[in-house]
Amino acid sequence: MDEFAYEGWDVIERAWREGLTPNPLLTVSEWADRHRVLSSKASSEPGRWRTSRTPYLKAIMDCLSPTSPVERVVFMKGAQVGATETGSNWIGYVIHHAPGPMMAVWPTVEMAKRNSKQRIDPLIEESPVLCELIAPARSRDSGNTILAKEFRGGVLVMTGANSAVGLRSMPVRYLFLDEVDAYPLDVEGEGDAISLAEARTRTFARRKIFIVSTPTIAGASAIEREYEASDQRRYFVPCPHCSHRQWLRFEQLRWEKGRPETAAYVCESCETAIAEHHKTWMLEHGEWRATAEGSGKTAGFHLSSLYSPLGWRAWREIAAAWEAAVSKESGSAAAIKTFKNTELGETWVEEGEAPDWQRLLERREDYAIGTIPAGGLLLTAGADVQKDRIEVSVWAFGRGKEAWLIEHRVLMGDTARDAVWKALGGMLAETWTHASGAAMPLARLALDTGFATQEAYAFVRACRDARVMAVKGVRTGSMGGAALIGTPTAVDVSQAGKKLRRGIKVYAVAVGLAKLEFYNHLRQSAEVADDGVTVTYPAGFVHLPKIDAEFIQQLCAEQLITRRDRNGFPVREWQKVRERNEALDCYVYARAAAAAAGLDRFEERHWRELERQLGLASPPALETPTESITEATHRGGLGVSGNRNTGRRVMYAIADLEAWADARSFEMTSDPQYTEQHAARRPGSR
């Protein structure tokens, strides 16, 4: 008998061999089917992941697998098609099966934190194979924080597109860019977020980049640009009646008017109505087909909500959404735009033809120049700097972005000298008379810094008034991006060359978007009731006093045209139809100032509070009480004339409401101190 014989050698040998055997090479979809567990915290269908529930996602996920030669995956989509879970599956796959440095980017740092808590944490907690690799955040030295998850062989870093520091934090092999159409125009003066993030992947030969978004406006949409540069795949599904393959188009969805529950899809070949219960079979037998030539490195996928599986977004719901968007009672151009973006996953084409200036001249109103009609509750100004003058337009805004031109001034003088700048500064001490008799000061003044830049910076420094904001027009992406104003960029530096947080900050303004909105509003018409007296104005209506024809022609001085770039892609850009356009530029800056003051985020209670401060007749009681506003000295050293107390009260109301709106809107900044500072300044908290 061999004295070294051991009965357990076969067990050791088997374990040794198994240890040398590599893990099976799974695709992302195979990994998800095997290991992904959906949490009840983040999913309406908790439990095991089944790719068969959304068959169209299989090819997208597998392009993100190491075995695919594709480097960049672009997904332009509608709502409720599973795009978010696709990204989560890929993150889980990387952590468990293909470890390496990974970055996930959302529009803002606050959104990154929210997604980390609501999606990434449940992804890890509910999937046993991931729990073993990432220790709980409460463990000492776990490497698990809100914005960073360390695992063996890699790390997942999460950040916002509004943080240049976050985007350039480290080289990464894997990059997930979510909702790119909501990214800022320019990240702290360093360029667009997509380019900054992609630069982090250049050192990796086998990189993977996943770009996802619902589209916005044609020509301004980042996801549209990425999709058009791809092979533009569509998901072709067979007709259950004739087997003809087709990709689903909204125009083929038919129903009886007023009865969206009768919605059915009409086959483009046999013209037979397809009931929605056939959708499961159609999706199962569908296939992706490229509709354009690509480089082989970028795969583009487009999917509308028409493909949403049974139990998610139904065809009858899509039909009902369309009827609501186009109805006379509740419909609007904005509602149709939202429908196209979120339901169809398509861009909205804005009309950019210049409005008829003669029609605008004819519909001028009788309110006096320099006075504010009753509906104007937020007063801002936009200043356009030229060589020999500064032109300033004062605009009032009200509910629904209704706007009134109050006056336009031309301050003559060499902008290289002090005199004209003193005249501009004098406007900060002025007030304008409201219809209520109250004296209203400017809530914000936006100063263009594109010309006489250093002189403009010097003015902002010298006046030391928080209402003054330096702005610069941005035309990135033809239309100026998807947000009206971007994250401010610090321009003042210390002796060591570091940017001063308390120095001047310049706001990027998407001039193209502002012009599109303005031109759409200029085309609107008021409705006169049957009594011939009562007039109803639509949201966004632009009121003009008896201003001269030259000013109105300047408002209509540009038009939006479409041309082809050197790669053959359509590009939309603004073109002058007359030389003088200062009035239009001044409006754009005044509109940006209103946005910075909170116009786009104000709720009804904000408007009620401004009315109260103006001493208007008591409006109907609110269902929820309006917080009180405490008077305090404005940090900008506001001076008023006329009714000084009322002017001050209005200014304090606007400052407090603006601060509250800023604190409630995480899109405004990635600076935690900024957010905390403003969150503490809720109305009544001074």
User: Which residue range is the domain that position 91 belongs to?
Assistant: 25-249+288-314
Lowest-pLDDT choice from 197-201, 585-589, 633-637: 633-637
The confidence score (pLDDT) of residue 496 equals 72
- For Cα atoms 608, 441, 404, give the angle at the middle one, nearest 5 degrees: 70
Q: How far is CA 223 from the centre of its chain?
A: 12
Rounded to an integer, the average pLDDT of 443-447 is 97
Domain boundary among 554, 571, 596: 596
Number of domains in the chain: 2
Domain assignment present for residue 231? The answer is yes
In-domain check, residue 455: yes
Query: How confident is the model over 526-582, as pLDDT tens digits?
Result: 888 778 778 889 999 999 999 999 999 999 999 887 766 665 666 778 888 888 999
Residues 413 and 294 in one domain: no
Per-residue pLDDT, 680: 35
In a domain, 422, yes or no: yes
Give the pLDDT confidence score for residue 578 in this predicted structure.
Answer: 87
Give the per-residue pLDDT at 661: 47
Residue 606 is assigned to a structural domain of this protein: no
- pLDDT on residue 625: 38
Q: Which of 202-206, 516-520, 562-566, 628-632 has the lowest mean pLDDT?
A: 628-632
Q: How far is Cα 218 from Cα 33, in angstroms, rounded to an integer?
A: 37
Q: Could you tell me the two tokens for 394?
A: 């004062």
Most confident of 137-151, 399-413, 554-568, 598-612: 399-413
CB-count burial class (<10 Å; 0-12, 13-18, 19+) for 13: exposed
Q: What is the pLDDT of residue 569?
A: 61
Report residue 631's pLDDT band, with 50, 70 and 90 as the boundaries. Answer: very low
Supply angle C-alpha 361, 366, 370, rounded to 5. Answer: 100
d(CA 259, CA 667): 39
Residues 309 and 413 occupy one common structural domain: no
Q: Would the pLDDT of 386 be above 80? A: yes
Q: Are both 245 and 368 inside the same structural domain?
A: no
Which CATH number goes with the domain that contains 159? Answer: 3.40.50.300
CATH of the domain at 588: 3.30.420.240
Higher pLDDT, 610 or 212: 212
Range name among 184-188, 225-229, 456-460, 606-610 with the lowest pLDDT average: 184-188
DSSP assignment of 321-351, as one string? HHHHHH-TTT--HHHHHHHHHHTS---B---
Whether pLDDT at 629 is above 60: no
- The mean pLDDT value for 275-289 works out to 98
State whether 301 and 377 are in the same domain: no
Residues 296 and 384 in one domain: no
pLDDT of residue 662: 45
pLDDT at 83: 94
Angstrom distance (rounded) from CA 498 to CA 239: 63
Q: Say if residue 208 is in the same domain as residue 297.
A: yes
d(CA 251, CA 264): 11
Is 489 in the same domain as 421?
yes
In a domain, 479, yes or no: yes
pLDDT per residue as tens digits for the range 8-47: 666 656 655 555 555 568 999 999 999 999 988 778 888 9
**Assigned token pair, 37:** 């567990």
Average pLDDT, integer, range 453-465: 94
Task: Evaluate whether residue 406 is within a structural domain.
Answer: yes
The two tokens of residue 627 are 């917080």
In a domain? residue 666: no
The angle that helices 315-326 and 333-342 make with each other, rounded to 10 degrees, is 160
Q: Look at the pTM and tell me if it is higher than 0.75.
A: no
The pLDDT of residue 630: 30
Whether 566 is in a domain gets the answer: yes
Q: Band of the pLDDT at 483, cuts 50, 70, 90? A: confident
**Same domain assignment for residues 302 and 385:** no
pLDDT in tens, 653-681: 555 555 444 444 333 333 333 333 333 33
Q: Which of 596, 614, 641 is the last residue of a domain?
A: 596
Q: Give every CB contact of residue 447 below 8 A, 6+ residues apart in sequence.
A: 383, 385, 424, 456, 459, 460, 468, 469, 470, 471, 589
Domain boundary among 579, 596, 613: 596
Mean pLDDT of all residues in 620-645: 36
Do 392 and 458 fall within a single domain?
yes
Q: Identify whether residues 307 and 362 lie together within a single domain.
A: no
Answer yes or no: do 190 and 58 share one domain: yes
Cα torsion through 408, 414, 415, 419, rounded to 10: -80
DSSP 136: -
Query: Both 306 and 455 in a single domain?
Result: no
Mean pLDDT of the chain: 85
Confidence of residue 165 (pLDDT cuts 50, 70, 90): confident
Better pLDDT: 93 or 22: 93
